Amino acid sequence: MTKPSEESSQGSTVDAKKSYISKLPNEITKDEIDDTSDFTQEKVPAKLGFSGRFAEFRDSFKRFDLGELDPNLSDLEKANIIASRSPLQRKLKSRHIQMIAIGGAIGTGLFVGSGTALASGGPASLIISYLLTGIMIFCTVQALGELAVAFPVAGSFLSMCSRFVSPAWGFVISWNYAMQWLIVMPLELVAASLTINYWHSNVSPAVWVTIFYVCILVVNIFGVKGYGEVEYWLSVIKVIAIVGFCILGIILNCGGGPKGGYIGGKFYHNPGAFNHGFKGLCAVFVTAAFSFAGTELVGLASAETENPSKTLPSASKQVVWRIFGFYLISLTIVGLLVPYNDPRLLTANSLSATASPFVISIENAGISVLPSIFNAVILISLISVANSAVFGCSRTIASLADQGFAPKIFGYIDRMGRPIMGIALSMLVGLICYLSVSPKESEAFAWLMALSGLSSVITWATICLSHIRFRQAMKAQGRSIEELSFTALSGVAGSWFGLGLNVVVLGVQFWVALFPLGGKPNPTSFFENYLNSVVNVALFAFYLLWKRRKSIIWIHAKDMDLTTGRRDVDIELVKQERAEQKAFMASKPWWYRTYKFWC
């Protein structure tokens, strides 16, 4: 019989061996290690040396093996299985998702683009358009939350579009979404370099875009955890800045600034609440949609979230705080402080922070230092959105490859869960940012923006349609919504509203593009505002020619796959948890119930 001390010694030796093996480079297997007796606590190194860490870093870029797939499966079935097996690492914590939901997409659209919107439609049009768009966004994110919790797979709404609508439209929307983020990244870097010119910098824009470019590359090399941590702190800064502006704006409106003087609502009377009438209101809708772009990234991150079933429902609810607390309140204050006919709103470069109504309102109050501080916040916001663009694009490119819509090499995901080829493509296209030193910069970026201008609107419409079709499939296949651990607060009705409003936005944008404000119809103006829709029609036609007889235009509800990648749910346990939660909430005061309903 072995003595206890010997057993203890032997056990510790085995543990030491296992610990050492786990720290070795991945190509060294257990079979290549000698007998257990050779491993003692004294022989186990405290940490890997430089060569070991370098080998570990090098091997992290090796491809993650997804295993074999049945060759007899259809393209759609293969795509669903690959999405469910995704090696993307679940490293985003609750605080990352919460802050990304609240402030992750706040950037150029709000801080700078709102100036163009104010000049086009006036302060009343600004509030009406952002309010309706905000309600639509809330319904869309709720629908996305329900789908993402039920199917926390790679590609999120992109792969679910192919599953619940059709592979044909999935091809279009995936490339449309990828193209959006491919273009946003260099645009934001150029806008960041122009923002620095607020301080009258004599340094070439190429220097600044290089610095920002390298920083974003480094962040994404650290994987999703690096992205989440950076976005968390950048979002905190943006949220603090907006809250501070709202407080300051109320003080300035009441005459508390250095220049003094009560402002109130005088700019609603002179020059007026509306500009360009109904057409001006319609023109603001597109700017409002651009301002909310990126809200859907919460759903795209579901495959890399530690506990999506608990984190995503809360995050999808908190979008309402961003809509009403940050957008509507701040823009209401902006409309009170800056008249829509202020020449700085339109004469300044549209990508520059000098056109920001936030900065203009502070300058009008005679505050000398604060405009520079807020300009720095705008710079941070631009870098944040550029960083999010690389995250969104790389995941979209990987999803395209998984669905068979792009070369398989783009589906390369390494052992750290990084979609390396997607990141590489995004950074490669990002080199367009060096057009900032070209004399044709404005013209080039106007056409780049045209390629992705309506992308977000089409994406949101597709998310709402996917949710509607998912519920139709549940009903057609005799499934109950009791199986869902989270259901959209807005229900199917909210998705119909979101789908309808997005279609209306596409319609009014066609009208404004065809008959521009203050001008006559011309091809250049039309395609600068509506080129994205033309590209989507071309993508759809290409898919039909590519797949020919294999193309699937529409999937019937009874044929939809409601199983692959589905989160395992114990229906009886879900019902029990709901009953306990209802009883718990009933015992709480009304203010607590209200808080938990929206948070």
Q: Contacts for 441-450 with beta carbons within 8 Å, 24 or more apart? A: 441/190, 442/349, 445/187, 445/190, 445/351, 446/528, 447/528, 447/531, 448/183, 448/186, 448/187, 449/183, 449/187, 449/528, 450/527, 450/528, 450/529, 450/530, 450/531, 450/532
Model confidence pLDDT, tens digit, residues 453-479: 788 889 999 999 999 999 999 999 888
420 and 308 in a common domain: yes
Judge contact between 30 and 21, C-beta under 8 A.
yes
Residue 535 lies in a domain: no
Say if 362 falls within a structural domain: yes
pLDDT band per the 50, 70, 90 thresholds, residue 447: confident
Domain membership of residue 57 (yes or no) is no
Residue at 329 is within a domain: yes
Are residues 178 and 307 located together in one domain of the fold? yes
Length of the chain: 599
Rounded Cα distance between 570 and 170, Å, is 30
The parent domain of residue 597 ranges over 574-599
pLDDT, position 69: 59
User: Do 187 and 45 have their domain in common?
Assistant: no
Task: Round the average pLDDT of the chain to a whole number and report it.
Answer: 78
Average pLDDT over residues 552-570: 76
pLDDT tens by residue, 227-253:
888 888 888 888 888 889 999 999 999
482 pLDDT above the threshold of 60: yes
Greatest pairwise CA separation for the chain in angstroms: 98
Same domain, 488 and 339: yes
- Residues 149, 38 share a domain: no
All residues at 6 or more sequence positions from 45 whose CB lies less than 8 Å from its CB, including other chains: 20
Q: Is the pLDDT of residue 15 over 50?
A: no
The total domain count for the chain is 3
Pair 494, 586 in one domain: no
Q: Do 30 and 179 lie in a common domain?
A: no
Q: What is the mean pLDDT of residues 305-323?
A: 73
- Summarised one tens digit per residue, pLDDT across range 130-180 is 888 888 888 998 898 888 888 876 667 788 888 899 888 989 998 998 888
Q: What is the CATH number of the domain that holds 409?
A: 1.20.1740.10
DSSP H or E segment with residue 482: none
Among 14-28, 203-217, 325-339, 353-367, which is the least confidently predicted range? 14-28
Residues 35, 156 share a domain: no
Confidence of residue 1 (pLDDT cuts 50, 70, 90): very low
Which is more confidently placed, 31 or 323?
Answer: 323
Taking residues 436-463, what's their average pLDDT? 80
Residue 221 neighbours by CB under 8 Å, 6+ apart: 418, 423
Task: Please report which confidence band the pLDDT of residue 363 belongs to, taking 50, 70 and 90 as the band edges.
Answer: confident
Q: Tell me: do 159 and 221 sit in the same domain.
A: yes
Candidates 340, 321, 293; CA nearest to 126 is: 340
* pTM, two decimal places: 0.80
Residues 477 and 598 in one domain: no
The 3 state secondary structure assigned to 449-476 is HHHHCCHHHHHHHHHHHHHHHHHHHHHH
192 lies in the same domain as 305: yes
- pLDDT higher than threshold 60 for residue 48: no
Those residues whose C-beta lies under 8 Å from the C-beta of residue 580, and which sit 6 or more positions away, are: none
pLDDT band with cut points at 50, 70 and 90 for residue 33: very low
Q: What is the pLDDT of residue 468?
A: 95
User: Is residue 76 one of the residues assigned to a domain?
Assistant: no
Mean pLDDT highest for which of 262-271, 305-314, 478-487? 262-271
The answer as to whether 56 is a domain residue is no
> Domain for residue 321, yes or no?
yes
- Assess contact for 288 and 133: CB atoms under 8 A: yes
For residue 63, the cross-strand partners are 414
CA distance 137 to 128: 14
Q: 59 in a domain, yes or no?
A: no
**325 in the same domain as 348:** yes
pLDDT in tens, 87-123: 555 667 777 777 776 666 677 778 888 888 898 889 9
